[in-house]
Structure 1
C-alpha cells in the first residue's frame, strides 16, 4: 500500500480528488475522557463554574469538524451535510465517552472530521473541568466506522467492548 499524501519526489502533497466519483460518505469516531468520580458528579449535576460541560463540548466538536481543513494541512475543505456529537456516561468507571458522526456527499472521506470532532469535544470537557481535576486523561480516540468511497465500509467495535 502506498501513502496518498506523498508525491513522486517524497514531498507532502494534497491528494487530487477531482476524478473520484461523488458518493455518500460517513464516518464515526470515539474518544474517552477519564476523570475522578467527584468530577463526573459535578459534570452530571451541572455544578461547574464554566457551565454546561457536555453542551459546550457538543458545540465545540461540531465546530471542529467544520474547521478540520484549517487544522490539518492536507485535508480538503468539505461541505459537511451532517455532524453530530453524543456522549455516554460511564459512572462506574468515571468516564465520558464521546461519539462523533460526520456525513457528506463528496469525493473524499470524512474520517478526519469525525476524529477532530471527538478530539475537540474531549479537550473541551478537560478545559471546562480542569479547575477541579488535573488528572483527566483522553483515551481510545479512533475511527469506529467509515463508509463510502473506493475502500467501502470499515467497522470497529468500541474499545473495551467485547468483540464476540
Structure 2
C-alpha cells in the first residue's frame, strides 16, 4: 500500500515527509505528539507562541514518555486543556534532505483528542490559545504543513475544504 508523501520546505531546510498509519510506527527519532483537539462543542484548540503563528498543541517527548503521555502533557501545558480520550491517527516520518539537520529522521504521532478546556494559565512557551470553529482551521495552520494537515484531518474524518 502506498502511503502519502510530501516535500516540505521550512526554516531553510527541505524535508521528505511520509505518512504511516497508526498500526505501523516508523523508525526514527521520537519527535513527540501533535493533537487535533476537539471540545465537546466540536471546536478546535489552537495555540501560539507569538500571537501571529498558530498550530495545534504539539511537542517533544520527555525521556521514557509514551506517545499518549506526551500528547496528554503537551495539551495540558500548551493549551490548558485535559485530554478525555484520544485516538492515534498515525505517524509522520520526516527525513531532512537538505539543511542543517540533513540526514536526521524524526517521527511524530498525530492524534484526534477529545478535550475539556481549563482556565487559561500558560506556564511555558505559549502566550495565546483560541477555540475556533472547525471551518476556520485552515487560517491557523502553518502554511508549509497544510498538505500534511489535510491528510491528518481526512484520516480523522474532519476534512473541511479550504474556502
Q: TM-score by structure 1 length? A: 0.30
Larger relative CO (CA 8 A, sep 6+): 1 or 2? 1
Relative to its length, the structure with more strand (as a share) is 2
> Which protein is bigger by CA-based radius of gyration?
1
